[in-house]
C-alpha cells in the first residue's frame, strides 16, 4: 500500500495499531507509513553549513572547482591572469594553501578557466583561454595542463607542461569552456564554443601522458554546427560510459543535449556523438550531474520558458538520451534563480544532487538544497542559505573525504572568491508517507497505536499555540515553520487536529 486512502476513507479512524520498524521513542512523535505497512519515527538531520572562507583574496571573474578525496582545487581568472589554489578540509572548515599563478597576463587577456579531477593519475587537469597579439596577429588560444597537489603545511600546487590545444585568429574565438573526466576510459573532454564568427560547439579529447603533461588531440570534434552555440557544459554518465554534453543553440532558441564517446589513446583520442535531444523548457546553463545511486543523469537549469529553477531526469544510452516526461521545480517564480549563477554536484554520501544558486532578488544570497532521485522522480529538500552575501557565478564539487560539498562563488559583497562546505538536510518523511502521531513509545517489531491523519492527537504534545498550523520538519520536530508536510491545526496547547490527505 502506498496511500492512506487504501486503509481509511477521509475522516475515519483515529488510534490504529501498527508494527514499528525501528524504535518509536515516545508519544507525540510524527511517524511515516513504510511500503511494507510498518511505521517508523520521522528522522533526519538539518543542513550543514561550514564557515565561509576566502578562496581567492580578491574578486575573480570566472570560477571553477574540482575535488579529489583529499583536496579541493579552485581555478579562477583575476586581472586577466589565471590562478589556482588548493584547500584541505577538516570537519566543515577549509584551510587554503598557497595560490599558484597558472598564466601571467602580460599583453594577453585570459578567461574561461575549467578544471576536472583525473582519478586514474591523481591529477587535476585544467584548461583556459588566452588572447592577444602574436607577432602582429591577434589570436585566441585554448591551453591545457595538469596540476599536482603537494601535501604539506601549507599545501601547494605544481603545474605541469602546458599544451596548446587550439588556436584561432581574432580576439573572441573560445567561449564557455568546461571539462569532465571519464575514469572508465581515462579520457578528459573539453567543450566550448569555437570560431571567430561561427561559434560552433566543439569538443577536444585528451589524456594525462603519464609524466608531467597532457596529450590532447588538437582536432576539434563539432557537436553543434550552428552559429552562436553558447553555455556549453559536459558531464560523465558512468552507467552508459558516455559524456553528456549540453549547450544553448541561440538561433534555434533551445537547449540541446547529446551523448559523446571518447576513444583511442593519447593524441589520437577521438570523439563521436549521439543523436541530439532538445529540452522543452530550454535553459541557458543546463548542468548535467550523474546520480550514481539512481544510475541517471540529472539536468539542472533555469527555465527560460517558465523562469523557474527546474530539473529533469535523463536516461543515457550509447547514442540516445531520453528525457523524463515530468520536469520538477526546485525554485519557483517568487524568487527565481539568476540564469547563469547556478551549479550542481552529486553527494555520494547522502545520494543527493546538491544544487546551489543565487536568488534573483536583493540581497542576492547563495542558497542550496538536496534533490533525491528515484527512477524518474525528483524530491527536493529544504533550501538553506550557504553564503549571506551578494554572490555571482559559482562552482560546486563534492569532497568524499569530508562527505561535504564545496561551493565556490564570486562574492561581490566581500570582494573576494568565497567558499563554504555544505551538506543538504536529510529526512525519511514526505507529504505522501506521513501517517500521524504516536500515542506511546513502541519498540522495534512491537505494535502500538498511532493517531492517524483525520484524528486528533492529544498525547505527548505540549506548548502548542491554539489555531496555529503546524508542520513536520525534516528532523522530526513539529513546528509552525512551513514545510511540505503539514501536520494540522492546534486545538489547544496539547492537541492537534491532524488533517487528512491521501
**Cα separations in angstroms, 242 against 24, 92, 259, 260, 323:** 45, 33, 6, 6, 16
Cβ neighbours around 423 below 10 Å, total: 25
Residues 382 and 482 in one domain: no
| Per-residue cell: 181 | 573526466
Residues 69 and 499 sit within 8 Å (Cβ to Cβ): no
Q: How many CA atoms lie within 13 A of 279 on its CB side?
A: 34
Q: What whole-number distance in Å separates Cα of residue 483 and Cα of residue 487? A: 10
Q: Which domain holds residue 445?
A: 4-42+429-498
- The residue written with cell numbers 585570459 in the block is 110
- What is the torsional sign of CA 40, 46, 47, 48? negative
Judge if 21 and 53 occupy the same domain: no
> What CA–CA distance (Å, rounded) separates 394 from 459?
48
* 243 in the same domain as 219: yes
Judged on CB neighbours under 10 Å (0-12, 13-18, 19+), 107 is: exposed
The pLDDT, as a whole number, for residue 501 is: 62
For residues 486 and 354, state if they share a domain. Answer: no
State whether 215 and 275 are in the same domain. yes
Question: Is the CB of residue 127 less than 8 Å from the CB of residue 165?
Answer: yes
Note the pLDDT of residue 46.
Answer: 85
Residues 415 and 439 in one domain: no
Residue in 429, 422, 290, 425 with CA at minimum distance from that of residue 353: 290
| pLDDT computed for residue 43 by the predictor | 93
Radius of gyration of the chain from its Cα atoms, rounded to whole angstroms: 25
| C-beta of residue 231 within 8 angstroms of C-beta of residue 248 | yes
The domain that holds 243 is classified in CATH as: 2.120.10.10
Question: What b-and-e string marks burial along 96-105, b requiring 16 or more CB atoms within 10 Å of the CB?
Answer: bbebbebbeb
For 459, which DSSP code?
S
Instruction: Show which of 386, 402, 422 is a domain's final residue.
Output: 422
pLDDT computed for residue 482 by the predictor? 85
Contact 64/53 with Cβ under 8 angstroms? no
The grid cell for 42 is: 520521522
The C-alpha atoms of residue 453 and residue 114 are separated, in whole angstroms, by 51
In the beta sheet, which residues pair with residue 449?
17
Q: What share of the chain is helix, strand, coil (3-state, %, to 5)?
A: 0, 60, 40
304, 172: one domain = yes
CA separation for the pair 39, 334 (Å, rounded) = 36
Number of helices (H), then strands (E), in the chain: 0, 47
| Residue 73 exposed, middle or buried by CB count within 10 Å (0-12, 13-18, 19+) | buried
Single out the residue in 370, 387, 422 at which a domain terminates: 422
Q: Do 317 and 463 lie in a common domain?
A: no
Examine the domain organization and report whether 489 and 355 are in the same domain. Answer: no
How many domains in the chain?
A: 2
Taking the C-alpha atoms of residue 385 and residue 227, their distance in angstroms, rounded to an integer, is 39
Give the C-alpha separation, 427 to 472, whole Å. Answer: 11
Residue 172 shares a structural domain with residue 126? yes
Residue 263 CB neighbours (<10 A): 12
Q: Within this chain, do residues 360 and 451 fall inside the same structural domain, yes or no?
A: no
| Low-confidence stretches of the chain (pLDDT beneath 50) | 1-13, 502
Q: Does residue 154 have a cis peptide bond before it, meaning omega lies within 30 degrees of 0?
A: yes
Among 407, 422, 437, the domain boundary falls at 422
Residues 26 and 60 in one domain: no
Place of cell 574578486: 59
Residue 423 and residue 47 in contact, taking contact as beta carbons nearer than 8 Å: yes
The whole-number pLDDT of residue 381 equals 87
Q: Name every residue whose Cβ is closer than 8 Å to that of residue 396 and which is 6 or more positions away in sequence.
A: 65, 343, 344, 345, 354, 356, 405, 406, 407, 408
The full 3-state SS of 199-231, as one line of letters, equals CEEEEEEEEECCCCCEEECCCCEEEECCCCEEE
Rounded Cα distance, 170 and 11, in Å: 72
Q: What are phi and psi of 267, to 5 degrees?
A: -70, -10
- 395-411: b or e for each residue (b if 16 or more CB lie within 10 Å)? bbbbbeebbbbbbbbbb
pTM of this structure = 0.87
Tracing cell 544553448 back to the chain, one arrives at: 248
Report the C-alpha gap between 204 and 357 in whole angstroms.
29
Question: 499 — phi, psi (to 5°)?
Answer: -70, 140
Amino acid at each position: 500500500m502506498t496511500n492512506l486512502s487504501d486503509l481509511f476513507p477521509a475522516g475515519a479512524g483515529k488510534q490504529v495499531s501498527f508494527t514499528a520498524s525501528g524504535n518509536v521513542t515516545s508519544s507525540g512523535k510524527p511517524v511515516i507509513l513504510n511500503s511494507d505497512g510498518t511505521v517508523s519515527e520521522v528522522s533526519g538531520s538539518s543542513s550543514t553549513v561550514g564557515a565561509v572562507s576566502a578562496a581567492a583574496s580578491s574578486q575573480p571573474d570566472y570560477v571553477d572547482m574540482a575535488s579529489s578525496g583529499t583536496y579541493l582545487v579552485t581555478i579562477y581568472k583575476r586581472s586577466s591572469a589565471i590562478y589556482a589554489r588548493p584547500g584541505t578540509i577538516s570537519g566543515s572548515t577549509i584551510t587554503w594553501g598557497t595560490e599558484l599563478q597558472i598564466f601571467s597576463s602580460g599583453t594577453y587577456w585570459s578567461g574561461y578557466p575549467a578544471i576536472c579531477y583525473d582519478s586514474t593519475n591523481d591529477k587535476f587537469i585544467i584548461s583556459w583561454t588566452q588572447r592577444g597579439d602574436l607577432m602582429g596577429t591577434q589570436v585566441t588560444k585554448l591551453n591545457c595542463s595538469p596540476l599536482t597537489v603537494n601535501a604539506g603545511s601549507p599545501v601547494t600546487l605544481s603545474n605541469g607542461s602546458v599544451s596548446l590545444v587550439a588556436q584561432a585568429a581574432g580576439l573572441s574565438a573560445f567561449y564557455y569552456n568546461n571539462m569532465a573526466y571519464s575514469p572508465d576510459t581515462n579520457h578528459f573532454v573539453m567543450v566550448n564554443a569555437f570560431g571567430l564568427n561561427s561559434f560552433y560547439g566543439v569538443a577536444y579529447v585528451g589524456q594525462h601522458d603519464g609524466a608531467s603533461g597532457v596529450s590532447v588531440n588538437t582536432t576539434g570534434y563539432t557537436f553543434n554546427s550552428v552559429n552562436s552555440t553558447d553555455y556549453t557544459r559536459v558531464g560523465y554518465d558512468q552507467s552508459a560510459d558516455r559524456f553528456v554534453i549540453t549547450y544553448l543553440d541561440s538561433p534555434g532558441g533551445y537547449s540541446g543535449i547529446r551523448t559523446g564517446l571518447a576513444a583511442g589513446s593519447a593524441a589520437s583520442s577521438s570523439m563521436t556523438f549521439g543523436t541530439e535531444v532538445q529540452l522543452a523548457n530550454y535553459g541557458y546553463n543546463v548542468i548535467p550531474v550523474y546520480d550514481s545511486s539512481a544510475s541517471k543523469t540529472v539536468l539542472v537549469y533555469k527555465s527560460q520558458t517558465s523562469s523557474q529553477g527546474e530539473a529533469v531526469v535523463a536516461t543515457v544510452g550509447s547514442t540516445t538520451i531520453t528525457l523524463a516526461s515530468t520536469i520538477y521545480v526546485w525554485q519557483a517564480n517568487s524568487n527565481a534563480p539568476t540564469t547563469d549563477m547556478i551549479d550542481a554536484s552529486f553527494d555520494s554520501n547522502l545520494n543527493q544532487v546538491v544544487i546551489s544558486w543565487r536568488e534573483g532578488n536583493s540581497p542576492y544570497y547563495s542558497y542550496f538544497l538536496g534533490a533525491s532521485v528515484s527512477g524518474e522522480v525528483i524530491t527536493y529538500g529544504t533550501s538553506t542559505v550557504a553564503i549571506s552575501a551578494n554572490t555571482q557565478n559559482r562552482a560546486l564539487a563534492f569532497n568524499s573525504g569530508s562527505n561535504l560539498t564545496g561551493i565556490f562563488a564570486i562574492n561581490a559583497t566581500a570582494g573576494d572568491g568565497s567558499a563554504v562546505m555544505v551538506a543538504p538536510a536529510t529526512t525519511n518523511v514526505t507529504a505522501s508517507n506521513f501517517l500521524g502521531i504516536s500515542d506511546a513509545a513502541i519498540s522495534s517489531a512491537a505494535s502500538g497505536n498511532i493517531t492517524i491523519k483525520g484524528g486528533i492527537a492529544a498525547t505527548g504534545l505540549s506548548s502548542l499555540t491554539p489555531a496555529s498550523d503546524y508542520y513536520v520538519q525534516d528532523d522530526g520536530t513539529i513546528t509552525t515553520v512551513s514545510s511540505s508536510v503539514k501536520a494540522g491545526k492546534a486545538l489547544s496547547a496539547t492537541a492537534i487536529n491532524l488533517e487528512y490527505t491521501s
